[in-house]
Amino acid sequence: MNYTLLIPEIVVFCTGVLCLIIDLFLSERIKKILSWIAIIGLVAGMFALHNISEGLAFGNRTFIVDSFSIYFKYLFLGIGILVIFSSKDYLSNRTTHQAEYYFILLSVVTGTMFMASAGDLIALYVALELLSIGSYVLVAYLRTREGIEGAIKYLLFGAVCSAVLVYGLSIIYGMTGSTELREIGYCLSQQDKQGALLLGLFFTLVGFGFKIACVPFHFWVPEAYQGAPTPITAFLASGSKAASLAVFIRVFIEAFGGIKTEWTMILIVICILTMTIGNLSAIPQTNIKRLLAYSSVSHAGYLLIGLIVGTNQGISSVMFYLAVYALATLGVFTVVAVVANKIGTDEIEGYAGLHKRAPLLSLSMLICLASLAGLPPLAGFIGKFYLFACAVGTGYIYLAILGFLFSTVSVYYYFRILKSIYLGEASDSSKVPTPFFLKAVLIFVMIGLFFMGILPQSLLFSALEAAKLT
């Protein structure tokens, strides 16, 4: 057993516990340092991750540290840092229980890291529930009516889909006699495709479809995203989605790779429905968080294209796109959090004339939305190009065409936000104050989107190397 492989997770979780302990001895005036402690803990987790080698923590494949899991862990830690930066200003006047907030958030980040390393059905499910339970609490954390309503819907749908998922996994276990993913893959490749196996596969798809927010398992998304604290909405749209996709990839490639033909057709239907309904539902929205919620659903559809392709190139395209999507999404929600905090609105019309009141926020929104729409020379363009090129190269030309068409549709509803920002008339001409550290975060996001759009080779290479689990 090599417990040193668990050090990054231990560091992150213990930082959350440390926030709770330190909070007992701090006065209200200096509790702002808790956010910096959380950030330092996540940075320390990155250093610990950099210094560990690949291997198996428990002598079997329950907890795997490989290039695939390391790639995702860096992504989760980076997302956690940006979410905490956004939370610092957003929570300042909303709650006095910040230590508990950071503890739960760091516990959820720990859950995502365990999910990336899970090579066993039991470890996978426990990590998934650690993420889910913490997320339910965070959605309702501010105890607003919308937050509680969103959390209840999220919890109810989540509980049902978790039960369906565990039932599907139990059927798979019953068919193979193993909980280890690669052993399951070997057993399934030697068996006839029985009805019970297909039922277990279907239930597993339903469970993961909810976690990724695919159609028709997306009904919780608008209410949860709208009601949650904005930094948590950012985490749900980026970190939670990325963690669920990491598990989805490992399960369906390692365990179900030998029966790919059985699940590919179902996934194609889900992919097309997700792109269609996600984009069309975003068009009439007037609340920016609901619009971005449906936008997040549509991006799940684009990501499924790479899973359907199923090759190393297809999986690496998903991993690359997840990184650039997460960066752009975090940038957008950082702006939304500042506007909600300083102006007090999540309505698109409330952004009218923002370019005069907050030029940096407006520019950040422009660049991040352009990247999400897939416009060159930003990273989102490279991500979509790589995804669609993989689809064309493996014969799924119609998926690439649909993806391109719906990306064009997304330009319309993203432009509605930009139209309000740059062409609308503000009712108030006062400047929107933005904390220095958030300005630094937004500048970092913009530089990152340009850099990965112009020079994507290093991240593409890292994603391709990490995808070699297949």
pTM here?
A: 0.93
pLDDT score of 80? 95
* The length of the chain, given as a count of residues: 470
Hey, what are 106's tokens?
């760091």
pLDDT score of 192? 65
Give the residue from 36, 127, 20 showing the smallest Cα distance to 76.
127
| pLDDT tens readout for residues 135-173 | 999 999 888 888 898 899 999 988 998 899 999 989 888
Angle 186-250-184 from CA coordinates, rounded to 5° = 20
pLDDT score of 346? 86
Q: What is the C-alpha separation between 298 and 403, in angstroms, rounded?
A: 10
pLDDT score of 413? 94
Q: What is the C-alpha separation between 22 and 26, in angstroms, rounded?
A: 7
pLDDT score of 411? 94
- Please, are residues 246 and 208 in contact by the beta-carbon 8 Å criterion? no
| pLDDT lower than 50: segments of the chain | none
